[in-house]
Structure 1
Amino acid sequence: MVTEDINFKKEGIERIPVRVFESDVVASIAVAEQMASVIKEKQSQNKMAVLGLATGSSPIKVYRELVRMHQEDGLSFANVVSFNLDEYYPMRKTSDQSYYYFMHQHLFDHVDIKSENINIPDGELTIDAIDHYCRTYEQKIDELGGIDLQLLGIGRTGHIGFNEPGSYFESKTRLVKLDPLTIQDAASDFGREELVPTRAITMGIQSIFKAKKVILMAWGEKKAPIIKRTVEGIISEAVPATFLQKHLDVEVVVDENASLQLAKVKTPWISSICEWNEKLTKSAVIWLSQKLGLPILKLTDDQYRENGLGDLIAHYNGSQELNVKIFNALQKTITGWPGGKPGADDTNRPERALPEKKRVIVFSPHPDDDVISMGGTFLKLAEQGHEVHVAYQTSGNIAVFDDDARRFLDFYHDLSIELGLNEDEAEKIYQTALDSISNKGGETKDHEVVRKVKGLIRKGEAAAGARLVGLPDERIHFLNLPFYETGAVNKKDIGEADVAIITELLKKVKPHQVFAAGDLRDPHGTHKVCLDAIFKGLANVKSESWAKDCFLWLYRGAWQEWDVDEIQMAVPLSPMDLVKKRKAIFKHQSQKDTPVFPGEDKREFWQRAEDRNRETAKIYDSLGLAEYEAMEAFVKYDY
């Protein structure tokens, strides 16, 4: 299964075939169809189909489609032998975080595969039994003639299975130590980082290469950087997934968001001839400006030609005309009036001048995303007299430390005594919650009372932040979408009840502007689910007259920022604006210092926000635009 070493260094070379799909749903169905084809082909030959299976978020929809095929189309798994890539160590099979549990929950319990044909690394072994177990696992694969089709996900370190950076090509099934970044990423599944096992049993790179066909899947923008390195980078132990460049039959399957960093998507002029449009032209000019470290208006014809963009300036009367066009386009994105400037010519402004006073809904997935991501714009909208509403979509109750909950429980207990409330009832509630926290152990799911306490903590912080911005209480809405309220990190799919709540608020307010989180690198996936609910809510009201004049603006900030070539509205912030924004973020005391789910970025949320806002302003300045202290950025979404 191995080709010769590939070590091209030319930028933009795609060294593994990549299939880009509109969404992870469509892509997952396509992958499931390939798996079903293998199973059926082997059935026709009266042979066993040997499948290598992965866990994590990437294959869930693939397994869902396979279950549907079994239940509705009669696809049988009776001739399937499966080998899972990995398992945490140590790990009980009954644990919600075990891959044994995951596979049965998402696939095995719903199809007719024989239990004796299921192979998942055993996280319950004693340490002295692991070496022999791993050799036997490898031998079973060999005895079956290798794997017919191997599914893979990919971690942000470039690990496949749990083959972390430093893994060697000849590696086989073994016990490994997990990379700190992998542990950080897994923290959302385990509740907190210290509960994540530091080791795992994994098939090796050589084990994976026994597969006749390999499919690597990746969904979402947070996977885009590592997909680029895997597909276009040189082969290196530092990114184990790059070893797949040596395999004879491998393909990478991604959705559009995971493809965004690939040269053929982000900088197609590097590797092919482009059909130039306005968006691509803007991206290319900004790219050249940043590459050369020159303001846009200083770029010359020769510099365009020397960097492979000669065909671009051929569309214009030289670089001067092109430079002015893109400079002006960027200039028009800048506005200190995010709700529109009254009495101004709005021909070249991001927002309409009329109506002068707009109804606005700021949707916030978690109770702090509003002020973290667009706190300065939030303040300006309120100060400029618009009717601003904020809607907190989820309670955020899993992101509060137990000791914070204990502090508020103590306050509730003592206040009940001080006020002479029903002491028996207060004591009962207090002890129930206290016992739950004390006996929690390694479990991640909170008792219902504790969840309510944590939710109220975040509700109080959000209300304080919104009041600081200038909102009256009647414009602060806590939606508590049902999909979130599982008590665990894993959430339910978006449902009709969630969409109905969004739709009802939209109909009530009839907004001229909606602001929503387009920050899809949120490690929990909550932002995407909340955005999907907004899309569906807006679809429900699109026939209403007011909805035809409603703009949807997407913000980022907590986890990433928009690239400058995407920005359609940039709101400048002064030093005083940043101070006010920081004060609003500080109202979220439970998320200060070290939040429960910090992700890979160890800075506090207010620091991330300010640094990103300053960086956006710095980029505008470097391109030759006016110099500002900071900027919040938005993209208009046509729904």
Structure 2
Amino acid sequence: MSVTMVKESTIISKRTSRKEWSAMESTKFEKIHTEIFDGADYASKIIAQEIAALIRYKTERNEKCVLGLATGSSPIQVYAELVRMHKKEGLSFQNVVSFNLDEYYGLDKTDNQSYIHFMHHHLFDHVDILSENINVPSGKIAFEHIAEYCTQYEEKIESYGGLDFQLLGIGRTGHIGFNEPGSKISSTTRMITLDYLTRQDNAFAFNSMADVPRKAVTMGVGTILKAKRIVIMAYGMKKAEIVRKTVEGEISSDVPATFLQEHEDVTFVLDENSAKDLTRFETPWIVGDCEWSKDLKRKAVVWLSQKLNKPILKLADRDYNDHGMSEILGEGGAYEVNIKMFNHFQHTITGWPGGKPNADDTNRPERATPGKKRIIIFSPHPDDDVISMGGTFLRLVDQGHEVHVAYQTSGNIAVADHEAFRFAEFARELYEHAAGD
């Protein structure tokens, strides 16, 4: 995978407009401006520099700097850099007014897992921000007063002229703040029921999954979109799929983060791993010229075969040309490429999956020696090992290898846990609500 990293530029000085971004050939499938860094550390420093520049700009004009702040693992390094800049470079937060995105419902500000505690631990206790300028949704408002409280939170943001800058992370459900799937683009600050996957991802901060609150108070999507400037962060392979859906997918309440496509000044900050599923990295030949390594050629040919539902040996010159792959055609055209690729993949097929003892294994993926091996099969679900690779499994045993199987789920359900629990929790909430009436 060829990735162009941001090394010396800053988001502040070299930000590209959404219109200009979508017009670039390599990013033509991306509907949100993205910047890709070679690591979260450097990315966090660049984001912190932009925030610091905004604070100083507002200070020079004797204006309040209104920041929307996020919690979670992604912004921790941003806050660490801001603290460093305060202590080492004299960055003052006395003109800053902060509004946090969300808070778990039911947690007190003294709870270690609360987001108000998180913010004090990582930022507020280490800078000179005025306590009266700190705003974090309360998780201890009586249920019957929640609607009124949320309205007041909205009004307070508006009283400062709205958010100058909003910092966001993204959950695997596509939530921004705690706006879970189903949230509307016009939604405002409110109480929301957390998706099971969100609670599962946040369970590490609690003693157990059962201790993770089921509800939270969150800014709405509409509130977030009113911010003058938005920076959203995502790091690591676990975020790659939701990043692709957010950046390249259609706008949908199923993925609330896609609503950011409607904002005129938003940047998605990524690292190599979280960006890997974007079209320009996953299938770079579609968007422009690329460096054709052996592995990339093989990947592209398999992709083309699957896309057209044609065997490799039946791919034609036009198939390659129509899908941006003409560069890999040599003098012999598709015929030569197809034969070469077919032979390569053919050599990965064998009746001796553990290697045939004392055989010529020059062109085989598995070595012939040693003749007997210890083998582990990872099976996502009991019986997947038999259904999906039963023949290989049997051959390995028959040929004398020591075979072990690691089952990765209990097999008690046929769908993902988070999907089952999501609907079960919805049914319970509905029942409790009906019983209350």
TM-score w.r.t. structure 1 length?
Answer: 0.54
Q: Please state whether the residue corresponding to 1:585 is helix, strand or coil.
A: strand
Give the structure 1 partner of residue 113 of structure 2.
97
Residue 599 of structure 1: how far off its partner (Å): 7.1
CA 1:576–1:197: 2 relative to 1, 3 Å: farther
- Match runs of 1:283-302 below 5 Å: 283-302=299-318
Matched, 1:187 2:203: yes
Matched, 1:262 2:271: no
Matched, 1:249 2:265: yes
Amino acid paired to 1:22: D
Give the structure 2 partner of residue 39 of structure 1.
55
Residue 102 of structure 1: how far off its partner (Å): 1.6
CA distance in 2, matches of 1:193, 1:47: 44
Give the structure 2 partner of residue 30 of structure 1.
46
Matched, 1:309 2:314: no
Superimposed CA distance per residue, residues 353-398 of structure 1 (whole angstroms, 9 cap, x where no aligned partner):
8xx67xxxxxxxxxxxxxxxxxxxxx96448xxxxxxxxxxxxxxx
Residue 582 of structure 1: how far off its partner (Å): 8.2
Give the structure 2 partner of residue 585 of structure 1.
406
Give the structure 2 partner of residue 574 of structure 1.
393
Amino acid paired to 2:62: N
Residue 201 of structure 1: how far off its partner (Å): 0.5
Say if 1:316 and 1:322, in contact at 8 Å, map to a contact too.
no
Give the structure 2 partner of residue 531 of structure 1.
none
Amino acid paired to 2:282: K
Say if 1:219 and 1:257, in contact at 8 Å, map to a contact too.
yes
The two structures, once aligned, show a CA RMSD in angstroms of 3.6
CA distance in 2, matches of 1:304, 1:337: 32
CA 1:305–1:82: 2 relative to 1, 3 Å: same
Amino acid paired to 1:199: K
Residue 147 of structure 1: how far off its partner (Å): 1.1
Amino acid paired to 1:68: R
CA distance in 2, matches of 1:116, 1:58: 26
Residue 578 of structure 1: how far off its partner (Å): 8.2
CA 1:556–1:273: 2 relative to 1, 3 Å: farther
Residue 585 of structure 1: how far off its partner (Å): 3.4
Give the structure 2 partner of residue 527 of structure 1.
none
Superimposed CA distance per residue, residues 38-77 of structure 1 (whole angstroms, 9 cap, x where no aligned partner):
1122222222211111111211222222222223333222
Residue 125 of structure 1: how far off its partner (Å): 1.3
Superimposed CA distance per residue, residues 553-608 of structure 1 (whole angstroms, 9 cap, x where no aligned partner):
xx99879xxxxxxxxxxxx942365899886537x9xx85689xx97588xxxxxx
Aligned residues: 386
CA 1:51–1:28: 2 relative to 1, 3 Å: same
Give the structure 2 partner of residue 325 of structure 1.
340
Amino acid paired to 1:574: F
Say if 1:52 and 1:82, in contact at 8 Å, map to a contact too.
yes
Out of 124, 129, 140, the residue aligned to residue 113 of structure 1 is 129
Say if 1:12 and 1:232, in contact at 8 Å, map to a contact too.
no
Give the structure 2 partner of residue 229 of structure 1.
245
CA distance in 2, matches of 1:134, 1:142: 13
Residue 156 of structure 1: how far off its partner (Å): 1.5
CA 1:380–1:291: 2 relative to 1, 3 Å: farther
Matched, 1:162 2:178: yes
CA distance in 2, matches of 1:124, 1:75: 33
Give the structure 2 partner of residue 539 of structure 1.
none
CA 1:189–1:305: 2 relative to 1, 3 Å: same
Say if 1:12 and 1:262, in contact at 8 Å, map to a contact too.
no
Superimposed CA distance per residue, residues 517-564 of structure 1 (whole angstroms, 9 cap, x where no aligned partner):
xxxxxxxxxxxxxxxxxxxxxxxxxxxxxxxxxxxxxx99879xxxxx
Matched, 1:197 2:213: yes
Unaligned runs of 5+ in 1: 358-378, 384-468, 470-554, 560-571, 603-639
Say if 2:353 and 2:395, in contact at 8 Å, map to a contact too.
no
Superimposed CA distance per residue, residues 87-143 of structure 1 (whole angstroms, 9 cap, x where no aligned partner):
111222222321112212222222222222111110011112211211111111111
- State which drifts further: 105-114 or 326-335: 326-335
CA distance in 2, matches of 1:73, 1:328: 62
Out of 96, 100, 103, the residue aligned to residue 80 of structure 1 is 96
Say if 1:12 and 1:270, in contact at 8 Å, map to a contact too.
no
Q: Please state whether the residue corresponding to 2:57 is helix, strand or coil.
A: helix
Q: Please state whether the residue corresponding to 1:186 is helix, strand or coil.
A: helix
Residue 337 of structure 1: how far off its partner (Å): 7.6
CA 1:253–1:599: 2 relative to 1, 3 Å: farther
Say if 1:337 and 1:380, in contact at 8 Å, map to a contact too.
no
Give the structure 2 partner of residue 150 of structure 1.
166
Residue 241 of structure 1: how far off its partner (Å): 0.9
Aligned-pair identity in percent equals 50
Give the structure 2 partner of residue 172 of structure 1.
188
Residue 260 of structure 1: how far off its partner (Å): 1.0
Give the structure 1 partner of residue 15 of structure 2.
none
CA distance in 2, matches of 1:334, 1:44: 69
- State which drifts further: 157-166 or 317-326: 317-326
Say if 1:12 and 1:263, in contact at 8 Å, map to a contact too.
no
CA distance in 1, matches of 2:361, 2:94: 66
Superimposed CA distance per residue, residues 301-341 of structure 1 (whole angstroms, 9 cap, x where no aligned partner):
233234x2352354452112112233334445568687x88
Say if 2:374 and 2:402, in contact at 8 Å, map to a contact too.
no
Amino acid paired to 1:88: Y
Amino acid paired to 1:149: F
Say if 2:297 and 2:328, in contact at 8 Å, map to a contact too.
no
CA 1:14–1:116: 2 relative to 1, 3 Å: same
CA distance in 1, matches of 2:174, 2:44: 21
Say if 1:281 and 1:312, in contact at 8 Å, map to a contact too.
no
CA 1:149–1:381: 2 relative to 1, 3 Å: farther
Superimposed CA distance per residue, residues 420-444 of structure 1 (whole angstroms, 9 cap, x where no aligned partner):
xxxxxxxxxxxxxxxxxxxxxxxxx
CA 1:592–1:314: 2 relative to 1, 3 Å: closer
CA 1:139–1:292: 2 relative to 1, 3 Å: same
- State which drifts further: 343-352 or 266-275: 343-352
CA 1:329–1:105: 2 relative to 1, 3 Å: farther
Residue 190 of structure 1: how far off its partner (Å): 2.9
CA distance in 2, matches of 1:574, 1:108: 57
Amino acid paired to 2:406: I
Amino acid paired to 2:393: S
Amino acid paired to 1:136: Q
Superimposed CA distance per residue, residues 227-251 of structure 1 (whole angstroms, 9 cap, x where no aligned partner):
1111111111121111111111001
Superimposed CA distance per residue, residues 391-418 of structure 1 (whole angstroms, 9 cap, x where no aligned partner):
xxxxxxxxxxxxxxxxxxxxxxxxxxxx
CA distance in 1, matches of 2:364, 2:51: 51
- Match runs of 1:44-59 below 5 Å: 44-59=60-75
Out of 209, 215, 233, the residue aligned to residue 225 of structure 2 is 209
CA distance in 1, matches of 2:312, 2:231: 42
CA distance in 1, matches of 2:79, 2:220: 23
Say if 1:21 and 1:256, in contact at 8 Å, map to a contact too.
yes
CA distance in 2, matches of 1:261, 1:578: 37
Say if 1:301 and 1:313, in contact at 8 Å, map to a contact too.
no
